[in-house]
Structure 1
Amino acid sequence: MSWILAIGLALMSFVAMIFLFHLPRMVWSAILAALMLGLAGYAFQGHPNERGYPSPYRDIAPEDGWALVEARKEVIGEAHQSANNHMLVADALMRKGQYANAAAVLERLVQDNPNDVEGWVALGNALVEQAEGHLTPAAIVSFEHAQKVDPENLAPAFFIGATHLRQGELIEGRKTWAQALEKASEKTWWRNELQMRLDRLDELLKRLADMPEGGTE
């Protein structure tokens, strides 16, 4: 059972990297090789029979925080980026992987500026990362606030859908993105980019559906 879980997590990571960062096909093989190397390391050093305990605080690699901040800025759009000084502090903490501290700063930001759409999106992201990639009720509330502030902005729906993909919930992630696109006007910022990711997700789902039982062609 532990091996099934490990392989499943590796596949979910592969899917998440493709759709979140829009990686070209030429690097797919390198990513798969890295994941296979990780599985090999698990086989050598893993202890699946030992009891696991959740970590009360997650201080992960800074590279993850950097990518998340840059992705948010791209999806939110320059016209909707926050001018609040708290955002600068929160982004610095996010880049260091200090998500709990970033969330605390962002909570102050949205309390002072409840109409700051990027502040709400950033808070949702920080809460997701603080919960080790899980879409918690608090994160959902943050994304919903962002959507209420700016119904046309695709950032809240994009990150909710992306979180579903990270958790292996491909159908739920697709549903979130598709509904957002249905409501968005043709001139909505980042609409074409989200449509492109949805098309690639549909292609992946079709390939999975066409695979014969047993997972081999």
Structure 2
Amino acid sequence: MLIWIIFAIMTGAAIFALLWPLGRGRALAFADGADARSLYRSQLGEIDRDLARSLIGPAEADAARAEAARRLLRAAGDDSGPEGVTESSLRRRRASSALALSCVPLLALLVYGAYGSPGQPDQPLAARLQADPSRQDFALALTRIETHLAANPSDGKGWSVVAPVYLRQGRYEDAATAFAQAIRHGEASPEAHAGLGEARTLSAGGVVTAAARASFTDALRLDPKNPRARFFLAIGQEQDGNATGAAEALRTLLAEAPADAPWAQAVRQRLARLEAEKAGGVAALAPAEQQAAIRGMVEGLAARLQTGGGSLSDWTRLIRSQVVLGDKAAARQSLVLARARLAQEAAAPAALDALAEELALKEAAP
């Protein structure tokens, strides 16, 4: 019912806007006449003043008064019938009024019937927010949760809801904050710890930092089978230079994965890349030869990065490998060079600081 009242008010306003100019013609027609009468009365007063100052004679004054009086009478006589209002113009004005009164509401009803939804019930904001979540406006729902958390920062459940959303949106620092808040306020589940570790890893450019490792370890303490924590810890092993241990961890994770696990494909791809890197035959060599081959690969990586280019992940892998090989002096040199090469990347300085702290290379920081 309310919608029809609103439509009636809107239609009335539209008709009034159309009829208002048509009804103002008479008042506008007399504006000039009133001004003329005022002018002629002023002329009569001016004649009397000129006569008193002897600027004109009595005969001239009488003639001027007569002429001004005639003009004043003509102007006063215009009140009986405004100029420009003829029978034909009056008919046109009435026809325009009738057309506006009939066509505007009819046109509005036709347009609404064709494109509107007269049978659809009202949907106020409160009802939309309580509807099926799959049909809610996602941005509206996220804003609602964020507003709630701003007023209730200790709501761990709310933080646990919004944290995965931030992670999917690529807002890794916000996701890390949200997961940490969820854990702090009573939602310390394995998934929350694993999510915190993933957010910290992604915010560091894909490097499994010491803080991320601690989060993954906490997740495995609560759930030793947590696939996300196991996957990222295997990546951490790879970044440490332990490709064999990383591949073995990934194989075990795949062997225990459910048949329809959505993350299994990512694990297979990572394992395939590791196995392709080992296809050169390093694993088949004797232990001493393996060490020499690994050292040669690390030196080749160092030479490539020193020449130019390289991502944060490449530099991290090189520094970790040099530490594993016992060459901390080379690792410190690589750390200094990495700082210079990656100075323009927002996440690089913090990630390199964490790496130096973890590998006891912090004294090399400038």
Which TM-score applies when normalising by structure 2? 0.29
Q: Which has the larger radius of gyration?
A: 2
Higher relative contact order (CA 8 A, sep 6+): 1
- Larger helix proportion of the pair: 2
Which TM-score applies when normalising by structure 1? 0.45
